[in-house]
Structure 1
Amino acid sequence: MKTKILILASMSFVMAGYAQKNEIKTAEKALKDGNAAAAKTALDGASGMISGADEKMQAQYYFVRGKAYADLAKKGDNAAFDEAVSSFKKVIEVEEKSGKAKYSDETRQHLGTLTADLVNSAVEDNANEKFKEAAEKLYMSYKISPKDTIYLYYAASSAVNGGHYEPALEYYEELQSLGYDGSGVTYKATNVATGEEEEMDKTQRDLMVKSGTYKDPKDDRAPSKKAEIVKNIALIYTQLGQDDKALEAYKAARANNPKDVNLILNEANLYYKMGDKDKFKELQAEAAALAPDNPDLHYNMGVINMEQGNLEEARAAYKKTLEINPGYTNAQLNLSTTYVNEGNGLIDEMNTLGNSKADIARYDELKEQKDSLFRQGADVLEEALKTNPDNQGILTQLKNIYGAMGDNENFMRVKKLLGE
């Protein structure tokens, strides 16, 4: 009786094996007919017991499954990419374990094709501003071919473009742990027949140029991306509100690139955000020393000094800004304001004085100083009007200064210029 039960069990197992083979054959036929969806359905019927099949059948099953999902992915089913990749990787895993590599070589070719399809799909996603999808596909491309770290770099860039900072941070930190540099040389030449510039390896490019089918060879050198990666890590930490980690990242970045003005400014802005205006000013000055012809740097120095009440330093910064860019309107307005603010400060003292002879003398002295300061503020704006006569901000501030001075003639003149 026991023997019969064992025979029946054995027969049942063999029949299950035949069923799996039939499902796989059905899937293969469907793929030949271009019907990947039917192939997937057939394979789903064999999936339940594939783990108990022998390694040869498992390799065949996952190979066909990988092809079915790769075809579905190519036809627009983005979710199929992951299934195709995992199936193809399973083929290699099973055959490495068994020592029989019937499908492995062809599987690697399919993975290469799948990588190209993933990258092309990611390019399309980026163009359509589907940055999350693009990043995921590029990261999957990198996982298929870890030697192509450029895909990981592009995955991080796509994630940042879409504001998906946490995955971007993971990608950048992985690049950093790999020591990714990104520098190198790309070799290009222009196709004589089409007139288009093409990229190829150096040996091929040189041969093509010698043959006369290509011309204008060019070597493009890409700089190292290490500093950019560290900078982006710091910026992401800032976006995530992790200011301490951002500062650590900036310090690491600046250790490698101490003269990178953008890094200095990003660190300065972080200190400003954290309320440390003295450190902000220190870094702005450092940046201005490295880029003395950048008017924005001197302007920012003027702003922070103005906020801190250092009017002489602010004036010097604004004047330097205007030396570099004479038409820098905000610098003109702020330079004028430094004189007005100083004059307004004198009014506070004037209002505290009494009617004694000494107080009256002091009042007249302060009024003369105030009017001189207001006049200097007005002169700055009158000079600005020579090159920017219709600027409403300049005209409005100038009108207010003349009004405060009691200069009715100029007040009315500027009011008329404003069309009031």
Structure 2
Amino acid sequence: MRTKILTVVATVFTMVAFAQKAEIKAADKALKGGDAAAAKAALEGAAGTISGADDKVKAQYHFLRGKAYADLANKGDATAFDEAVKSFREVISLEEKSGKAKYTNETEQRLAAISADLVNAAVDDNNNKKFKEAAEKLYMSYKISPKDTSYLYYAASSAVNGGHYDMALGYYDELKAVGYDGGGIAYKATNVATGEVETMDKTQRDLYVKSGSYSDPVDEKLPSKTAEIVKNMALIYTQTGQNDKAFEAFKEARASNPDDVNLVLSEANLYYQTGDKDKFKELMAEAASMAPDNPDLHYNIGVINMEQGNMEEARASYKKALEVDPGYVNAQLNLSTTYVNEGNGLIDEMNNLGNSRADIARYDELKQKKDDLFLEGAGILEEALKTNPDNQGILSQLKNIYGALGDNENFMRIKKLLGE
């Protein structure tokens, strides 16, 4: 009796193996005919029993399954990417274990193709503001090729753009864990035939230049993205009410990158957003000392000093900005405004004076001082007008100053320039 039972069981296994091979063969035939859906259906028929097959059959099954899902993904089924990747990875794992790499080489090529398809699909998703989908595709592309950490960086950026902050933080944490910097060197040269500047790897670029088909090689240094990543993480923490984590992120980043002025600026901005303007001013001054030729730094220091009523410090900062960039219109406008605001500050005292001889004398003194301040502000803008004759901001502010001074001639001149 025992022998008969064993014979029946063996027969059942033979029938299962036969069915598997038939379904796998049908899937292969369907793929060759371009019918990925039929191939998928045939493989689903073998799915329930494939775990009992030998590694050779499993590798073939997963290879065909990967091809079927990859084809479906290319035809618009975005959900099929994940299944294709899973099956192709299983092929590589099985053949590594068995030591027989029949499908591995082609599988790796197909995974590289899927990675490229995912990136292209993510670009389309981003353009259509489908940021979560874009982030997921870019992350999957990174998992296919972990050396391409830029895909993980762009996945985080897409998540941030879509407001998917938890997802973005997860990606940023991974970037930190792998030591992603984002900097490096871009090797560029000009295509002699088209005149276009192209980026390529160094070996290829140097060969093309040597052949004469490209010229003007340039090694362009790419800045580190560390500051941007930390800034985004800190902003997410801030928006989610986790200010302590935000400040800790900057502390950690600055300890590792003490000379990165962008980190100082981002930290200063966080203090500004949280209402600590004294700390903001301190950090801006630190940044200005690190990058004295950056006019925006001096301008922003001027803005915060002006908001706090420190007119002399504000003027000094605006003047530094103009030393670096003489045509910095906003610095010119704000420098003028410091004098106008100071002049306006005298008007209340003038209006509160009485009619005594001492009050009249004081009134005249204050009026002269006010007018001198207004004229100082006007002079700055008249100088600015020489290089920006059509700037509406400059013209409007000048018109208001001359109107307040009672200078009708200049008031009408500026009004005419405004086209009023």
Q: TM-score range by the shorter chain?
A: 0.7 to 0.9
Query: What is the correspondence of 1:125-140 to structure 2 with a 5 Å cutoff?
Result: 125-126=122-123, 129=127, 132-140=132-140
Structure 1 CA distance, aligned partners of 2:354 and 2:193? 92
- Per the normalisation by structure 1, the TM-score is 0.82
Query: What is the correspondence of 1:371-390 to structure 2 with a 5 Å cutoff?
Result: 371-390=371-390
Confirm or deny that 1:291 pairs with 2:291.
Answer: yes
Measured after TM superposition, the shift of residue 58 of structure 1 is 3.3
Aligned to 1:23: 23
Aligned to 1:41: 41
Aligned to 2:98: 100
Please tell me the residue identity of whatever aligns with 2:226. Answer: I
Offset from partner CA, 1:234-275 (integer Å, 9 cap, x none) = 324304514433322222332233332322222221111111
SS at match of 1:78: coil
Aligned to 1:113: 110
Instruction: Rate the CA distance shift 1:93–1:292 in 2: closer, same or farther, 3 A.
Output: closer
Structure 2 CA distance, aligned partners of 1:181 and 1:390? 44
The answer to whether the 8 A contact 1:235-1:246 is kept is no
Please tell me the residue identity of whatever aligns with 2:272. Answer: Y
Structure 1 CA distance, aligned partners of 2:13 and 2:38? 26
Measured after TM superposition, the shift of residue 308 of structure 1 is 0.6
Provide the alpha-carbon RMSD of the alignment.
3.7
Aligned to 2:353: 353
Structure 2 CA distance, aligned partners of 1:112 and 1:248? 43
Query: What is the correspondence of 1:163-178 to structure 2 with a 5 Å cutoff?
Result: 164-178=164-178
The answer to whether the 8 A contact 1:69-1:84 is kept is yes
Instruction: Rate the CA distance shift 1:230–1:289 in 2: closer, same or farther, 3 A.
Output: closer
The answer to whether the 8 A contact 2:81-2:114 is kept is no
Structure 2 CA distance, aligned partners of 1:187 and 1:333? 42
SS at match of 2:354: coil
Measured after TM superposition, the shift of residue 337 of structure 1 is 1.8
Aligned to 1:326: 326
The answer to whether the 8 A contact 2:396-2:418 is kept is yes
Confirm or deny that 1:303 pairs with 2:303.
Answer: yes
The answer to whether the 8 A contact 2:298-2:321 is kept is yes
The answer to whether the 8 A contact 1:70-1:81 is kept is yes
Measured after TM superposition, the shift of residue 87 of structure 1 is 1.4
The answer to whether the 8 A contact 1:231-1:250 is kept is no
Instruction: Rate the CA distance shift 1:38–1:279 in 2: closer, same or farther, 3 A.
Output: same
Unaligned runs of 5+ in 2: none
Unaligned runs of 5+ in 1: none
Number of equivalences: 413
The answer to whether the 8 A contact 1:169-1:233 is kept is no
Measured after TM superposition, the shift of residue 177 of structure 1 is 1.0
Instruction: Rate the CA distance shift 1:309–1:108 in 2: closer, same or farther, 3 A.
Output: same
Instruction: Rate the CA distance shift 1:348–1:48 in 2: closer, same or farther, 3 A.
Output: same
SS at match of 1:77: coil
The answer to whether the 8 A contact 1:85-1:111 is kept is no
Structure 1 CA distance, aligned partners of 2:57 and 2:279? 67
Once the two structures are aligned, what percentage of the paired residues are identical?
67
Structure 1 CA distance, aligned partners of 2:214 and 2:348? 76
Please tell me the residue identity of whatever aligns with 2:123. Answer: N
Please tell me the residue identity of whatever aligns with 2:120. Answer: V
Aligned to 2:61: 61
Instruction: Rate the CA distance shift 1:384–1:145 in 2: closer, same or farther, 3 A.
Output: closer
297-306 vs 109-118, greater mean Cα deviation = 109-118
Structure 2 CA distance, aligned partners of 1:3 and 1:323? 101
